[in-house]
Amino acid sequence: GAGVSQSPRYKVAKRGQDVALRCDPISGHVSLFWYQQALGQGPEFLTYFQNEAQLDKSGLPSDRFFAERPEGSVSTLKIQRTQQEDSAVYLCASSLASIASEQYFGPGTRLTVT
Amino acid sequence: AQSVSQHNHHVILSEAASLELGCNYSYGGTVNLFWYVQYPGQHLQLLLKYFSGDPLVKGIKGFEAEFIKSKFSFNLRKPSVQWSDTAEYFCAVNAGAEAAGNKLTFGGGTRVLVKP
């Protein structure tokens, strides 16, 4: 009965470095979401996958952000040339269905860009 | 675009006091509504959800919420809080059944501190 897992839990990057954040959803969950949570704020949507298809990437803040889910299971969020404003907790969530289904969240990856 | 507002950023109360956290959303269509809780050091967990039916929803740990469509509100309540209810609470909304891939729009959160 494993939940959503994310790695690494903490990441410190120097400005300009590339980072890759991994999400392992609950087995069998069709939908996968990425959210960004800045300090003291609620999570904000970044992107959504249904199986391997990225159906919504309207929340990605710039073309430095890229996400993939090539086999419809594990997903990676990549941030290129990190900036200080990218510092946040990145949350991954999965849900069993694509409609009217609750989302289960992972513990998040706290990214600090120095 | 959907938006969610939570009226209180911080709430401090004593054990056994009653709790009510406000949540209003702006979206004209059918909505699904959620309250999530984040205990210190833990990840977001679902407290309760409303998809359809009885607008008074009961969740875990004695929490309940009432959906009032005319007021675009989904307030969270608990009659008697415990110290273990200290956490941050997030209201969230997504579009209803007509929209697939239902991304959540979250409020800014309310930090609740229960004093023993």
pLDDT in tens, A61-106: 999 999 999 999 999 999 999 999 999 999 999 998 766 678 999 9
**CA dist., res. B99 & res. A30, Å (int):** 16
Calculate how close chain A gets to B104, using CA atoms only, in Å: 7
pLDDT given for residue B27 in this prediction: 82
Residue of A nearest to B39 (CA): A107
Q: Do A105 and B102 touch (CB under 8 A)?
A: no
Q: Do A102 and B49 touch (CB under 8 A)?
A: yes
Q: Mutation test of the interface with chain A: which of B32, B91, B103, B111, choosing the one with the most A Cβ atoms within 10 A?
A: B103
pLDDT given for residue A100 in this prediction: 65
Residue of B nearest to A98 (CA): B101
pLDDT at A24 over 70: yes
Residues from A contacting B (CB-CB < 8 Å) are 3, 31, 33, 35, 40-45, 48, 50, 55-56, 59, 91, 93, 98-108
Q: Do A102 and B46 touch (CB under 8 A)?
A: yes
Q: Do B43 and A107 touch (CB under 8 A)?
A: yes
Chain A residues touching residue B109 (CB < 8 angstroms): 40-42
pLDDT given for residue B29 in this prediction: 80
pLDDT given for residue B17 in this prediction: 97
CA B52 to each of CA A44, B27, B40, B62, B63: distance values in angstroms, whole numbers, following the listed order: 25, 16, 31, 20, 18
**CA dist., res. B88 & res. B76, Å (int):** 13
pLDDT given for residue B96 in this prediction: 57
Calculate how close chain B gets to A54, using CA atoms only, in Å: 10
pLDDT given for residue B98 in this prediction: 52
Q: Which of B96, B97, B103 sits opposite A45 (nearest CB)?
A: B103
**Which of A74-105 are b and which e, b meaning 16 or more Cβ less than 10 Å from the residue's Cβ?**
ebebebeebeeebbbbbbbbbbeebbbbbbbb
What type of residue is A53? A
Instruction: Give percent of chain A above pLDDT 90.
Output: 91
pLDDT given for residue B99 in this prediction: 53
Read off the pLDDT of residues B65-97 as tens digits, 9 standing for 90 and up: 999 999 999 999 999 999 999 999 999 998 755
Q: What is the DSSP string of B26-72?
A: E-SS-EEEEEEEE-TTS--EEEEEE-SS-SEEE-GGG-EEEEEGGGT
**CA dist., res. A81 & res. A13, Å (int):** 10
Q: Do B97 and A43 touch (CB under 8 A)?
A: no
Residue of B nearest to A39 (CA): B108
Q: Which residue numbers in chain B have pLDDT < 50?
A: none
